[in-house]
């Protein structure tokens, strides 16, 4: 018998809309899963069961007041999810993963939380993150590390690692994440999920236009392409009050995923912009996943060619400078710097010591990098890279070392993701192989500006060709 968490999010959403399933029933099911699984996986830092059940009851009452027709229901009516512990949820403490702060208890939702609440989603709690979302793991000094459901000795990646682990383990059907250098795509790749980083300006909340580097965007984590598309539709369904935004799609993202249409010219490359600074050596599993991706894309009709690319060797230093700049003004109480993790403390000290001309120079380098890279990519519809450079790393692999070793290891583990944030382009991570030890490894497809619909269509094509419905089912 199929259990509720083994259904796709889309199937759950449709059952709720038909009245075959109540929001209370679905919410209680997932809360039970969290009770059973979270102690071993550390996905949730806070579970808001009472609040979730209250919201589920209200959703059911709203359904019945519409005479059970489902007409006028919000797009995510009754659907459970969870938010990273970087986002404000009214009445729930926000820790930012840091021992240096006293967690504030906000009185209002942050914009993305409010958008998803209005869309009908029910939050089950807050999920684990690294300190200030800075790293590609999900470990900090205030709560147990998030662990990979495929092998709990390993990290699920980060910074959306707690959310990814929760989705992969079937504790929630899908989750919103935020991605400033790969923080949706990295944990998706480590746990066998679909992770989509939207185009800069696509999502009104976390648009990639608010932070200094214009890096950070919100994106969905899900077990299937259609589930990711469903959540993406809800995330974009708000007015965008910025002067520039991504071009509107011709139909919903869910429609694009369901149609799964199109054949494309794809440039394949294993070159990383970090290669000028660090030895970027791919694990065999990463290479195997990449080659499997080439074969799979070719088998469904795409033209995959080797791309002759090059990157500015100044990228590494410029990215680190801008990526860590906000730490200089982070509101750390006097005397609490010693409570920061070594990476955060070191990068904060360097940011505070850096001159304004140095910061401006770094921003200029990245803006030119964006222009040059998009120009080079324009020969193709998509660029294909490995999703990760290495298999998921053990818990503690980053955090036991000094800051520079931590940073280098992050770049070697995930050498292909941050450049996409710098360029503002959309990209999707999806699995292509299961290793001999049961881990998932995959590929990243980088699209042209505003091409999320095409990325979802290709991902759906590969799922259909692989019979991926069973592959993604939570056990």
Tell me how far apart the alpha carbons of residues 11 and 24 are, in angstroms, rounded to a whole number: 16
Cβ contact 156:113 at 8 Å:
no
Q: Strand, coil or helix: what is 89?
A: strand
CB of 199 closer than 8 Å to CB of 450: yes
Beta bridge partners of 83: 126
Catalytic residue numbers read 84, 159, 183
**How far are the Cα atoms of 150, 175, 196, 231 from residue 227, in angstroms, in the given order?**
20, 10, 11, 6
Distance, CA of 232 to CA of 234 (rounded, Å): 5
For residue 33, what are the CA distances in angstroms to 29, 102, 411?
Answer: 6, 30, 34
Cα separation, 420 vs 47, whole angstroms: 33
Question: CA-CA distances (angstroms) from residue 354 to 326, 337, 345?
Answer: 12, 18, 14
Would you state the structure tokens that stand for residue 281, as one six-digit string?
Answer: 């050596």
**Cα separation values, 29 from 11, 129, 173, 364, 422, Å:** 15, 24, 11, 50, 40
Give phi and psi for 210, each to the nearest 5.
-100, -35
φ, ψ of residue 159 in degrees (nearest 5): -85, -5
DSSP string spanning 33-88? HHHHHHHHH--EEEE-HHHHHHHHHHHHHHHHHTTTS-TT--TTTT-EEEEETTS-
Centroid of chain to Cα 310:
26
Helix residue ranges per DSSP H, 153-302: 161-168, 185-191, 225-236, 253-259, 284-299
DSSP 107-149: SS--HHHHHHHHTT-EEEEEE--SGGG-SSS---SSSPPP-BT
Structure tokens at 423: 């360029």
């Amino acid at each position: 018998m199929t259990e509720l968490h083994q259904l796709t999010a889309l199937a759950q959403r449709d059952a709720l809309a038909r009245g075959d399933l109540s929001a209370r029933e679905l919410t209680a099911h997932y809360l039970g899963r969290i009770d059973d699984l979270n102690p071993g996986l550390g996905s949730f830092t806070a579970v808001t069961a009472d609040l979730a059940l209250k919201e589920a009851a209200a959703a059911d009452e709203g359904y019945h007041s519409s005479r059970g027709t489902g007409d006028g229901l919000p797009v995510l009516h009754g659907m459970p999810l969870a938010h990273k512990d970087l986002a404000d949820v009214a009445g729930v403490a926000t820790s930012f993963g840091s021992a240096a702060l006293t967690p504030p208890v906000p009185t209002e939702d942050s914009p993305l939380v409010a958008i998803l609440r209005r869309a009908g989603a029910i939050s089950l709690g807050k999920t684990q993150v690294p300190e200030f979302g800075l790293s590609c793991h999900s470990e900090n000094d205030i709560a147990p590390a998030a662990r990979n459901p495929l092998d709990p000795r390993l990290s699920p990646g980060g910074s959306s690692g707690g959310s990814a682990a929760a989705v992969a383990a079937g504790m929630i059907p899908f989750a919103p994440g935020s991605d400033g250098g790969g923080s949706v795509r990295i944990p998706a790749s480590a746990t066998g999920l679909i992770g989509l980083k939207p185009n800069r300006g696509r999502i009104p909340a976390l648009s990639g236009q608010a932070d200094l580097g214009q890096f950070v965007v919100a994106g969905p984590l899900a077990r299937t392409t259609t589930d990711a598309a469903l959540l993406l539709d809800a995330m974009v369904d708000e007015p965008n009050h910025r002067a520039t935004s991504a071009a509107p799609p011709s139909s919903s993202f869910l429609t694009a995923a369901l149609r799964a249409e199109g054949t494309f010219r794809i440039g394949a490359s294993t070159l990383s912009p970090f290669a000028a600074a660090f030895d970027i050596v791919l694990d065999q599993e990463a290479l195997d996943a990449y080659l499997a991706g080439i074969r799979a894309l070719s088998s469904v009709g795409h033209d995959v060619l080797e791309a002759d690319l090059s990157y500015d060797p100044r990228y590494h230093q410029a990215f680190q400078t801008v990526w860590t700049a906000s730490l200089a003004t982070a509101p750390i109480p006097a005397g609490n710097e010693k409570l920061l993790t070594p990476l955060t403390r070191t990068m904060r000290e360097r940011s505070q010591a850096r001159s304004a001309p140095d910061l401006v120079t770094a921003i200029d380098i990245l803006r030119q990098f964006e222009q040059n890279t998009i120009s080079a990519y324009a020969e193709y519809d998509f660029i294909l890279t490995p999703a990760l450079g290495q298999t998921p790393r053990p818990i503690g692999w980053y955090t036991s070392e000094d800051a520079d070793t931590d940073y280098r290891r992050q770049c070697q583990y995930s050498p292909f993701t941050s450049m996409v944030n710098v360029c503002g382009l959309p990209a999707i991570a999806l699995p292509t192989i299961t290793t001999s030890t049961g881990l998932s490894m995959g590929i990243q497809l980088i699209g042209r500006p505003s091409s999320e619909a095409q990325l979802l269509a290709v991902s759906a094509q590969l799922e259909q060709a692989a019979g991926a419905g069973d592959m993604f089912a939570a056990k």
